[in-house]
Amino acid sequence: MSRRKIVDSASSDNTYSLIASRSRIFLFNVLPILVFSFLYFSTYYNVLNEPASIKLYRLLRIYYVLLSGFILGASGSILQSVLRNPLVDHYVIGIGSGALFAVYMTVYFYTYHPLLIVLAGIIGGLTALGLTILIAEKLSGSDIAYVLSGIGVATLFSGASSFILFFIIVKYPYASLMTTGSFSIVDSSKLVYVHIPLLIILITYYTLAKKLNTVIFGDDFAKQLGVDPGKTRLLGVLVAGVSSSIIVSLFGIIGFLGLITPHIARFLLKTSDNRLTIPFSGTIGMVILALADTVSRSITTIVSSEIPAGSIISLIGAPFFLLLLISRFTRWSK
């Protein structure tokens, strides 16, 4: 069969399937975002007899939590599709640790400024991602190779970050909270920068999702459909790496959120179609992070000070990651 016939066959969806696909996107993504955002906003922000400054703080915190959850969830889905590995996210493969180390170094040598730390975070996150991919491909390129190389790179940058932290804690006290991700300190200076990863994902989403659907089935199949698998992977890695690095540079490391959301999305949707799973992973990430932040600011403060939302996410994500790891080993041993 010629390439033209393959393309025609692959793109010959009827009107009903197109309408059904768009309806599912609305049903599983747009509608939940609107409903959940309204409920979350109305219960947390609309409190009577509070100063305008408190309401502004609440509004910014809500907005940052929802955007961060969506970006990290969508980035995790993109990474898993690009690397064809269900065990990865920005935390597992070291992007978060690399970005945080670069932020700490920037604060140590210069000062804390949103523009500087965002640029540093991108450089650090992409450097760690590049090292992980390089080492993993040198080993075997398998799922476990990526996990092991990611853990090694993450440990390296985490250790360096812990060392630098002792020198910058006086200069920037909030730095200690960034190791586990927290939204307790928010201000409007981050408002511009948090939209950058959102725009990157939204602009590249549809084109990238369709191309990733072909790459999943192998490079030869993708090439038959006129898709360059190398450029597609590079674009996906850059989108996910830059987006998650920016969030880490602004709010700290929120581990495992990008790992668990794609699995939940694929389970609920009963499909691996990236046109559906990428935005739905973002929606699930938004909900999970909002719930974690609610626990952080409401329940934990009753018995102690506020526990960072990233710590609560890790309590859920780490066991999920271990279960995935065990299931992969069990499958290979048979």
> 320: buried, middle or exposed (CB in 10 Å: 19+, 13-18, 0-12)?
middle
Q: What three-state secondary structure class fits 325?
A: helix
Length of the chain: 334
Least trusted range by pLDDT, from 101-115, 214-228, 271-285: 214-228
pLDDT (average), residues 231-259: 94
- DSSP result, 148-159: HHHHHHHHHHHH
Whether the CB-CB separation of 313 and 292 falls below 8 Å is answered with: yes
For the chain, the domains span 73-326
Burial state string for 186-210 with b = 16 or more CB within 10 A and e = fewer than 16? beeebeebbebbbebbeebbeebbb
Instruction: Provide the pLDDT confidence category of residue 22 given band limits of 50, 70 and 90.
Output: low
CATH code of the domain occupying 73-326? 1.10.3470.10
Does 104 score more than 90 pLDDT? yes
Q: Please state, in angstroms and rounded to a whole number, the distance separating the CA atoms of residues 276 and 263.
A: 13
Residue 84 predicted with pLDDT over 90:
no
Count of C-beta atoms within a 10 Å radius of residue 116: 16
Tens of pLDDT, residue by residue over 193-226, are 999 999 999 999 888 998 998 888 877 888 888 8
Q: In one letter, which amino acid is 95?
A: I
Please give the mean pLDDT across all residues of the chain: 83
pLDDT, residue 142, reads 78
CB 102 within 8 A of CB 120: yes
Radius of gyration of the chain (CA): 20
Query: What confidence tens digit (pLDDT) does each residue in 295-328 have?
Result: 887 765 566 677 888 888 988 888 888 888 787 6
